[in-house]
Structure 1
Amino acid sequence: MALAGGLTLALDQITKAGVVHLLDLKTRGQIDVLPPFLTFRMAWNRGVNFGLGASDHDVMRWVLIGVALIISALLIWWARRDGFGRAAQIFAGLLVGGAIGNVIDRVLYGAVADFLNMSCCGIVNPWSFNVADIGVFLGAVGLALFSGTGKSGQ
C-alpha cells in the first residue's frame, strides 16, 4: 500500500510541477499536446469532483483537507484491520496517494491544480483532472472490486 501510495503521490506532484510551473500552464492557460485527444488546460478546482461544492471561502478549503485526511486515515486503518490482499492494498495506496496529492495542492495553492483534458470523437470534455484524480478513481473502483478478498485474494 505504501509503495503504490508513494508512487501515485510522487507522480502527481512531479507532473503538476512540470506542467503547471515549468511549462507555465498557470499563465498560458492551455497547451495542445495531441489535440483533440490530449490538451493541458489549467483549472483550479476549489471543490470536489468537477468543482462541485466549490467556494472561495477558506473554510471550505480546510473542510475538504480535513475530510480527505480523515478518509485516508480510515482507509489505511481498514486495510490493516481487514488484512487486505495485495490487489486491494495497491488500490488503497492509489486512493490515498491521490487524496494526499490533492491535499498538498489545497495547502500550497488554496485549490487543486487540474490540467489534463481529454476529448474524443466529436465530444468535447469541458473538465480537467490530474494524476491524483486518476489514482482516487482507480483506487475506489479497485477497492469496490477487491476489498472483500482478504489475504486469500493475493
Structure 2
Amino acid sequence: MAKQKSFKNLSASPSTSMTPWLGIAIIIVLIDQITKVTITRLFSYGESLAVTSFFNIVRAHNKGAAFSFLAAESGWQRYLFTGIAVAAVVFIIYLLKRHAGQRLFCWALALILGGAIGNLIDRVLYGYVVDFLDFYVGRWHWPAFNVADMAIVGGAGLFILDELRRVGK
C-alpha cells in the first residue's frame, strides 16, 4: 500500500529545489503583467468603471510605494524603490535557495518575489506602478492596488502564519 502525503506538515519538505518556488513567482508576474496591460489598453489614466456598490476598476499610477508613500516627490523615488526592489529580489532568491525545503516559508517568499518583480517591471518601464483595483465604503476609498500587491500581502500573511506555527512548536 502506497504511503500518502499528509497535508498537516506544510512547513517542511525533503525537496530542496528552488524550481517550484520560482515557478510560482513567474505565474504571479505573468498574471500581474497581463492584468496591467489589459487595464492600460482598456482605460485612460483616471478612468473608472463601477462594478459593484463597493468596487471599481480604475486606472491609477502610483509613483510612490505602498499607500502612495513619497508619490508626490520629484522623481528620485523611482530609483530608490527600484533599488529596494532589486535588493529584495536578490535577497529572496538567496533565501529560497537556502530554505527551499521549508514549504510555507517558501510559499511566502515566492508570492512576495512575484509581486516585487511585477511592480519592479512597471517602475523600470513606466516610472510608476499601474494600480486598478479600487474598493470603497461610501466615499472612503482604500488605495488602489494590483495583483502584485495582493501577492505581497498574501506572502506577508503566510510569513506571519509560518512564524506562529514555529512559535507553537
Judge same fold: TM > 0.5, yes or no: yes
Contact 1:84 1:149 in 2 (8 A): no
Shifted more, 139-148 versus 128-137: the winner is: 139-148
Identity %: 32
TM-score, normalized by length of structure 2?
Answer: 0.77
Looking at structure 2, the residues matched to 13 and 83 of structure 1 have their Cα atoms a distance apart, in angstroms, of 26
Q: 2:130 aligns with which of 109, 113, 133?
A: 113
Looking at structure 2, the residues matched to 77 and 6 of structure 1 have their Cα atoms a distance apart, in angstroms, of 16
Q: 1:124 to 1:95 in 2, by over 3 A?
A: same
- Cα shift at 1:75: 1.7
Aligned partner of 1:134 in structure 2 is 150
The code of the aligned residue for 1:74 comes to F
Q: CA RMSD in A?
A: 2.3
The code of the aligned residue for 1:19 comes to I
Provide structure 1 residue ranges, at least 5 long, that are not aligned to the other structure: none
Please give the per-residue CA displacement for 1:79-101, whole angstroms capped at 9, x wherever unaligned: 32234422222221110100111
Provide structure 2 residue ranges, at least 5 long, that are not aligned to the other structure: 1-20
1:26 partner SS: coil
More helix by share: 1
Q: When the two structures are aligned, how many residues end up with a matched partner?
A: 147
Looking at structure 2, the residues matched to 146 and 66 of structure 1 have their Cα atoms a distance apart, in angstroms, of 28
Q: 1:142 to 1:100 in 2, by over 3 A?
A: same
Q: Which has the larger radius of gyration?
A: 2
Q: 1:19 aligns with which of 39, 52, 74?
A: 39
Aligned partner of 2:12 in structure 1 is none
Contact 2:46 2:60 in 1 (8 A): no
Looking at structure 2, the residues matched to 123 and 137 of structure 1 have their Cα atoms a distance apart, in angstroms, of 24
Aligned partner of 2:10 in structure 1 is none
Looking at structure 1, the residues matched to 88 and 53 of structure 2 have their Cα atoms a distance apart, in angstroms, of 35
Looking at structure 2, the residues matched to 103 and 69 of structure 1 have their Cα atoms a distance apart, in angstroms, of 8
The code of the aligned residue for 1:145 comes to L
Contact 1:40 1:116 in 2 (8 A): yes
Please give the per-residue CA displacement for 1:88-117, whole angstroms capped at 9, x wherever unaligned: 222211101001110111111110001101
2:70 partner SS: coil
Q: 1:28 to 1:62 in 2, by over 3 A?
A: closer
2:136 partner SS: coil
Shifted more, 62-71 versus 86-95: the winner is: 86-95
Aligned partner of 1:61 in structure 2 is 78
Q: 1:20 to 1:93 in 2, by over 3 A?
A: same
